[in-house]
Amino acid sequence: MQIGSTKFETDKVMTSANGILILGVAWLFFWLGPAFFLFREDPRWGHNFAIPITFVTVGMAFHFRKISCQLIAVISAFFIVPTLVAFWSWSTATGIAIGLLGLMIIFYFVELGRESELVHPNPRLNAWLKIHLMTFAYIGLAHMSLIFFLVRWFNPDAFSIYLPAEHHASTSIFNAMLFIMVILAIMERFVKKLGRFKVEKIGFIWAMLMMILPLIAINILGE
């Protein structure tokens, strides 16, 4: 696509990683903006600051392509687990998420001035990490949905000290769609097309739908 004198390369923009990154940014702005009153009424909704920051971290790590950065993204993604089983408060979770995002950005700029990466194991392990680290990061994100449907859905009171009950249609739609998002994000790294459609574009569009459909549910059902 040509816009004026600038060539807009949709193949580089429409990827699952960018979808996850945009999703995280939009989610964060939603809770800092129109949904912020819910946080003021009940600070337990503050986990909606920590989790989207983690999505941003994972989305950015795909582009940084440094083992050190992607290791941090994996750690950040799996920190979703203690956050969503109410191991700690929203403020602790958000502090950790911000700290890991900041650390990843620092590592990236440190890496730019080096001939070899900070984390540089033997060639075989190095190649394995390059291939699989983002897969582990995406699997970490999937734990949000696993915990929601298999743990918190049936027993919300056990987590009520730090987390509110979330049986809302919009939340359920988002978590159900996240399963598919993770599968598409992993697939696009190994499979280029499903039929005549590029997997990376499917993943990007799916991420956009993960923003749109829950908002439709909120407007129609009020939750």
pLDDT tens readout for residues 67-119: 999 999 999 999 999 999 999 999 999 999 999 999 999 999 999 988 889 99
Q: Average pLDDT in the 190-198 region?
A: 87
> Range of 124's domain?
2-221
pLDDT tens readout for residues 58-70: 999 999 999 999 9
Alpha-carbon distance of 136 to 139, in angstroms, equals 5
Contact call for residues 100 and 57 (beta carbons, < 8 A): yes
Amino acid symbol at 215 = L
Alpha-carbon distance of 53 to 3, in angstroms, equals 31
Residue 4 clears pLDDT 70, i.e. is over it: no
Q: Average pLDDT in the 39-43 region?
A: 96
Q: How many domains does the chain have?
A: 1
- Nearest alpha carbon to residue 44 among 83, 100, 95: 83
Higher pLDDT, 127 or 195: 127
**In the numeric block, which tokens belong to residue 209?**
């739908």
